[in-house]
Amino acid sequence: MGYRNFRPLIDRGIIPLKDEDQLTNGFMDMPVDWAPGMSRHMRLKDFPSFLRTTDPNDVLLTFQLHEVERSESAAAVIVNSFDELERPALDAMRAIIPAVDTIGPLASVAEQAVPAGGPLGAVSSCGLWREDPACVAWLDGREPRSVVYVNYGSVTVMSGEELAEFSWGLAGSGHDFLWVVRPDVVRGTASAALPPGFAEAARGRGLVASWCDQEAVLRHEAVALFLTHSGWNSTVESLGAGVPMLCWPFFAEQQTNCRYACAEWGVAAEVGGGGVRREAVGARIREAMRRGDGEGREMARRAAAWKEAAARATAESLANLGSLIDDVLLSGTSRWRTLSLSA
């Protein structure tokens, strides 16, 4: 629905932007509380980032809009979500698309649909990077709800300066942390170098790994907080595990996911609105890790509630999966051919 609302934004003359100054002069803070299917808390900057262009023929803007409008002819659309989480958006989608099936959170559905000891039990991960088993072992030695887990996803990149600011923010937070730093996380480099002195400052409190089994980490009792880029897989996995989030979105729909996590679902806070600063990172972590009162306590309470909601949704998602298989994939009708072309 975020992408589909590009059309009314274009029709109203709001996008494409008139000039690049609108990216920094406050124009992007414009409330957009009228968008069909979207939260009343939305601002222009909370929509997928591909609208941040002055070119009416921008390839990403036009491609995304074309694809979501083309999906209206599909036999079915599968969404990694559940109805209680996104009911207004799903209702809006179902008003224009014949069948929208929520099958999520996928991690919970997979656990029920694929028995661990069965013939598919060995298919445990579809990640893009090799996982380091030492991560879970390291967490086993930590106190419950004491660790900040940090991961910016499998494709997101940042500058060397941003990596340094996050490094010193984590070191200065005073909390234990598990930080996934991919070799290519710094833009234009093959290896990510942490700043001199960081290892000494974080000695005994942190583990830096190249990748991990994220679902296992988020479900570990030692993990209290997830510092994330707000990709959808990470967001849903965190909700399913009941872990509150600190968000630093980069691009695409991550801005939208961040806004919903913060303003709609109450499970997250954003780490700054512009360039990252170590003081802000450290302060945000300390506030979010406080469970006695304030923002951290409320985020943890809301995260626990969404974990329960996600668990309740599993049975409905399995039923939706069964209906999808029976009614579309095995029907032998033209509906399957339509779905194939739209996938």
Q: Which amino acid is at 99?
A: A
pLDDT band at 190 (very low <50, low <70, confident <90, very high): low
Token pair 């609105």 is at which residue? 273
Identify the weakest region by mean pLDDT among 54-68, 121-135, 228-242: 121-135
Tokens of 129: 């990077």
44 touches 14 (CB < 8 A) = yes
The one-character DSSP state at 193 is P
Tell me how far apart the terminal alpha carbons of the chain are, to the nearest angstrom.
Answer: 17
Question: In the prediction, which pLDDT does 109 show?
Answer: 87
All domains in the chain, ordered by first residue: 6-73 (no CATH), 134-305 (3.40.50.2000)
316 touches 82 (CB < 8 A) = yes
Helix (H, G, I), strand (E, B) or coil at 281: helix
Question: How many residues would you count in the chain?
Answer: 343
Query: Over the stretch 148-185, which tens digit does the pLDDT of each residue have?
Result: 999 998 888 889 999 999 999 999 999 999 999 988 88
pLDDT band at 191 (very low <50, low <70, confident <90, very high): low
CA–CA gap between residue 282 and residue 312 (Å, rounded): 35
Neighbours of 171 (CB within 10 A): 23
Question: What is the chain's mean pLDDT, rounded?
Answer: 89
Token pair 């996982």 is at which residue? 131
CA–CA gap between residue 314 and residue 185 (Å, rounded): 34
Question: In the prediction, which pLDDT does 118 show?
Answer: 58
CA-based Rg of the chain, rounded to a whole angstrom? Answer: 21
